[in-house]
Amino acid sequence: MNKKIKIGLIGLGTVGGGVFKCLQQYENIEIVKIAVHNKNKKRNIDNLDESIITDNPYEVVNNPEIQIVAELIGGTEPAYDLIKTAMINGKHIVTANKELLAKHGEELFKIAQENNKVILYEAAIAGGIPLIMPIKTILAGNKISKIKAILNGTTNYILTKMDVLGASYNDVLREAQDLGYAETNPTGDVEGFDAAYKITTLATIAFGKRIKFENVYREGITQIRPEDMKAANEMGYKIKLIASAEMDENNHADVRVHPMLVPKTKTLAHIDYVTNAVTLTGHPVGEITLSGPGAGEFPTASSVLGDILAIVSELDNENILPMMKCKHDENAVMTNILDTKNKYYLSITANNKTGVIAKLGKACEINNISLASIVQKEIAKDECAEITVITELCKEQDMRNVIEYLKADESIVNVNSLIRVQL
């Protein structure tokens, strides 16, 4: 403990700044070099030695003093090459980069194995919520079969505000952008990419088989309407963007991200605003839920710091943190979304004509779909009615056939929404 551990940081933004501040309390750790995009940017960080700042990240990964590199910039390039170079140069890695792990985790973990290095990434999945270390250690004796999670604070904030205020998606998005909860270009969040990156890595770890990101089904929240929120509430549900992963009895993985009607009896229905939560189902533990802040300076820094300290405590060992290393190289057999079975919420607007509900029933009948409930609201001034349906369990392909059937019917003005229902 008398010899200082040398650390290098790549990135000094929100998370990097939080990590720097937290590391100041450890006398046995020295930050040797910090790479930033703009050296001249003003930073509200006390005790920051400007002499260790560089705008060349290769000064971090090629520095022979540095033993641990924390990569906190995100994206795939130059992060991939930087981490690869660092490991070849004998450095352990801590990262918060969910996109990089989802797209290139297989290659990076192979390089880590070849160089007897470790990559820790607790901060990449759910900010300050401990997930990876518990799954690899405390829950290691469990066969995890199901994950249901809220992994994106921006979309959860937007959906919560839509629910509470009865407001439109566009109005709440503008507010979220003004408050800093949503980016100027929110595509990565609202179209489900961020959550898809995270569930890809989380499912890989939980199931012990590699999940290919390109095989993860994804839908965003941009088509959710205030009317859907109201209807869901009336039927005992909340609408959430759910990252889902399940392993069936044939060891086929169904991994996806899309909005769901979550029953109010479920914990995830009550996870609001920017909070994240993950429900794991396994044997013998049963069902457990971990929740907390999924982003932010100090919550995310907490996970990065924990990973750094775990490595620091093991640096003298020849085989460092063996439980945390990647031990699987088999790709999971993925289930196509068209072959999955789900319950569905369907909303259509139809002309107020005799036989419309009969047509809807017929469309479902010829596609082997039973209806659990059907509600028609009062007729609007335009002589159109909104009809809301909840189906029984049915095949995705059959449901899509119903949608095409309805779109071709002249008495159906619009198919408003199709949202899956969490079982």
pLDDT tens for 295-328 read 889 999 999 999 999 999 999 999 999 889 887 7
Instruction: Give 238's strand partners.
Output: 262
- Do residues 137 and 285 both lie within one domain? yes
- Do residues 136 and 283 both lie within one domain? yes
- Do residues 309 and 352 both lie within one domain? no
CATH number of 286's domain: 3.30.360.10
CATH number of 65's domain: 3.40.50.720
Instruction: Give 252's strand partners.
Output: 333
What confidence tier does 377 reach under pLDDT thresholds 50, 70, 90?
confident
Of 266, 326, 258, residue with least CA distance to 121: 326
Contact 95, 124 (CB under 8 A): yes
Neighbours of 13 (CB within 10 A): 15
DSSP 236: T
Antiparallel, parallel or unpaired: β 217-218 and 341-351: unpaired
Of 262, 222, 219, residue with least CA distance to 239: 262
Q: What is the pLDDT of residue 1?
A: 47
- Do residues 229 and 319 both lie within one domain? no
- Do residues 147 and 285 both lie within one domain? yes
Between helix 169-179 and helix 153-165 the angle, nearest 10°, is 130
pLDDT, tens only, 168-186: 999 999 999 998 889 999 9
Of 330, 340, 315, residue with least CA distance to 398: 340
Q: What is the pLDDT of residue 2?
A: 62
Q: Is 252 helix (H, G, I), strand (E, B) or coil?
A: strand
Instruction: Give 256's strand partners.
Output: 217, 244
Written as six digits, the tokens of 278 are: 């993950």
Q: What is the pLDDT of residue 361?
A: 92
- Do residues 192 and 61 both lie within one domain? no
- Do residues 64 and 122 both lie within one domain? yes
Domain carrying residue 274: 132-292
DSSP 43-96: ---TT--GGGEES-THHHHT-TT--EEEE-S-SSTTHHHHHHHHHHTT-EEEE-
pTM score of the predicted model:
0.96
Q: Determine which one of 148, 198, 209, 238 is catalytic.
A: 198
What's the number of domains the chain is made of? 3
Instruction: Please give the torsion angle defined by the CA atoms of residues 145, 321, 4 and 64, in that order, rounded to the nearest 10 degrees.
Output: -100
| Least confident among 38-42, 58-62, 400-404 | 38-42
Contact 374, 387 (CB under 8 A): yes
pLDDT, tens only, 199-214: 999 999 999 999 999 9
Contact 291, 277 (CB under 8 A): yes
Integer CA distances (angstroms), 233 to 164, 220, 322, in order? 11, 20, 47
Written as six digits, the tokens of 87 are: 């490991």
Query: Residue 38: phi, psi to the nearest 5?
Result: -130, 110
Between helix 14-23 and helix 297-312 the angle, nearest 10°, is 50
- Do residues 173 and 41 both lie within one domain? no
Token pair 């609001």 in the structure block, residue: 272
| Least confident among 139-143, 286-290, 377-381, 418-422 | 377-381
The CA distance from 11 to 223, in Å, is: 35
Look at the chain and count its residues.
423
Written as six digits, the tokens of 131 are: 């997930």
Mean pLDDT for the stretch of residues 9-21: 96
- Do residues 248 and 145 both lie within one domain? yes
- Do residues 282 and 148 both lie within one domain? yes
- Do residues 236 and 170 both lie within one domain? yes
39 tagged catalytic: no
- Do residues 212 and 242 both lie within one domain? yes
Q: Is 314 helix (H, G, I), strand (E, B) or coil?
A: coil
Choosing from 276, 308, 330, the residue where a domain stops is 330
Integer CA distances (angstroms), 210 to 76, 112, 186, 282, in order? 19, 16, 28, 18
Mean pLDDT for the stretch of residues 221-225: 98
Mean of the per-residue pLDDT values of the chain: 95
